[in-house]
Amino acid sequence: MTIKQKKHRQALVLAVLFATAAASGYTCAEDIKLGFNGDLSASPSALSGKAAVFGIQAAIEDINASGGVLGRKLSLVTRDDLSQPQKSMQNMSELIDAEKVVAVIGPTNSGNALAWKHIANEKKIPVIGAIGSATAITFPMSKGASNYMFRVSMVDRDSIAALLAYVSKNPGSKKIGFMVETTGFGQGGLKDIEELAQLHQIVPACSEKFGVADTDMTSQLNKCKAAGVDTLIVWAQAVPSAQLMRSMEKISYAPTTLMSWGIQQPSFYEIAGSTAMRPIFLQTLTDERTPRQQKLFERIAPKMPTSPFGIAGHAYDAVLLLAAAIKQANSTEGVKVRDALENLQGNVDGVMKTYAKPFSAINREALSSSDYRWVKWRDGKLVAYSDPVIKTLLTVDYKK
């Protein structure tokens, strides 16, 4: 047999083997790729991005250990957006067009999600947010438009509704002030604060803004102090919120302070010092964990000693919900996965809770205000918080 004939025979054998493997269902199927696009290095919020990645990786490990999805393994492709909207938009296009991810989790910053949500919608790629909480992230681009944005995280409007309910029922809150950072996160929060304050007939005695990199807010605080403000609602990320607390200390000003969930970051506690224990806020997880939450915490805590665990839980559950949707759709096609997410059959047992039809064609939020917990910082830990006002709050008080 000549060399040419041998090569021809080998080619035929390989062709038969591949055909047989395909017919038997033993093809070497490619991984189902999920993407993460968020800040992993550039700002204090990168800790949240890293926590999300740890949660995603843990969920992927568990799913793959159980056989994967549709006979294929899941894998993760990450992109660091450096907390920059333009970079985040570029990442989305790369993840979808070059990496061929079937869904994206993220981003870290609300402003970046608002900058690129049109890309996910145009390319029909489902996104489940696990960090960014701006209310408008999951809104359709226009009324009746196709929407591929979902979320397993807190929502600003729901959090703010709770803060204003507290203020409205607190007999010690006579004059209210608003203070927000100038980022998309802060400005989106201000919009919700102003709209919901009207429902409680609350007119602010002061309304001030500050930059995310500012370290001295005494000028703005002195205006609120002069106006007699006894209660401040603050919507900002961890570091500027901590600087705000230090600025209060400089002018001996100690109003009742309610803040965004952004201060869950350890950087808030580290910078704010003893003043960190004053504000109250809402969070999805406290130190009072369920057995399943504790198990995941013990598993990933060594990797993320200073990262917020709640976000890891959000991201873990986001992967579970995506896997359930892909299985139900029996496809990784974006439209089919989106449709399955909107009508998930059966329960999905997550670490945050058990999900029963978490989404619909209208509702894109898997977590609601009933899943939030009042917390505060104490001795370096986020602990559950309650007081006489919180004990009186009813569902009807959360106006939104």
Among residues 96, 55, 64, 102, the alpha carbon closest in space to that of 79 is found at 96
pLDDT value for 8: 47
The total domain count for the chain is 2
Q: What's the CATH code of the domain at 360?
A: 3.40.50.2300
| Residue 153: HSE in the Cβ half-sphere, 13 Å Cα cutoff | 33
Q: Please check whether residues 292 and 226 belong to one and the same domain.
A: no
Q: Please check whether residues 236 and 313 belong to one and the same domain.
A: no
Query: Does the N-terminal peptide bond of residue 107 adopt cis geometry, omega within 30 degrees of 0?
Result: yes
Strand ranges in 103-175 using DSSP code E only, listed in sequence order: 103-105, 127-129, 149-151
pLDDT value for 369: 85
Domain housing 215: 157-283+373-397
Q: Please check whether residues 252 and 381 belong to one and the same domain.
A: yes
Q: Please check whether residues 318 and 345 belong to one and the same domain.
A: yes
Q: Please check whether residues 299 and 255 belong to one and the same domain.
A: no
Q: In the numeric block, which tokens belong to residue 350?
A: 């997550």
Q: Please check whether residues 199 and 278 belong to one and the same domain.
A: yes
The answer to the question of residue 12 being in a domain is no
- DSSP string covering 224-265, please? HHHTT--EEEEE--HHHHHHHHHHHHHTT---EEEE-GGGGS
The answer to the question of residue 250 being in a domain is yes
Alpha carbon separation from 53 to 44, 107, 261, 267, 395 (Å, rounded): 15, 11, 19, 19, 34
Q: Please check whether residues 65 and 116 belong to one and the same domain.
A: yes
pLDDT in tens, the chain (400 residues): 554 444 444 444 334 333 333 333 333 479 999 999 999 998 777 888 999 999 999 999 999 999 999 999 999 999 999 989 999 999 999 999 999 999 999 898 888 999 999 999 999 999 999 999 999 999 999 998 999 999 999 999 999 999 999 999 999 999 999 999 998 889 999 999 999 999 999 999 999 999 999 999 999 999 999 999 999 999 999 999 999 999 999 999 999 999 999 898 888 999 999 999 999 999 998 888 899 999 999 999 888 766 678 899 999 999 999 999 999 999 999 999 999 999 999 999 999 999 999 999 999 999 988 899 999 999 888 899 999 999 999 989 999 8
The answer to the question of residue 275 being in a domain is yes
Q: Please check whether residues 165 and 231 belong to one and the same domain.
A: yes
pLDDT value for 131: 93
How would you label 141-160 residue by residue, b for 16+ Cβ within 10 Å and e otherwise?
A: eeeeeebbbbbbbbbbbbbb
The answer to the question of residue 24 being in a domain is no
pLDDT value for 380: 87
pLDDT value for 11: 43
Q: Please check whether residues 216 and 316 belong to one and the same domain.
A: no
Residue 246 CB partners (closer than 8 Å, separation 6+) = 271, 272, 273, 275
Q: Please check whether residues 254 and 292 belong to one and the same domain.
A: no
The answer to the question of residue 337 being in a domain is yes
pLDDT value for 213: 92
Q: Please check whether residues 253 and 213 belong to one and the same domain.
A: yes
The answer to the question of residue 4 being in a domain is no
The answer to the question of residue 19 being in a domain is no
pLDDT value for 265: 85
pLDDT value for 29: 77
The answer to the question of residue 237 being in a domain is yes
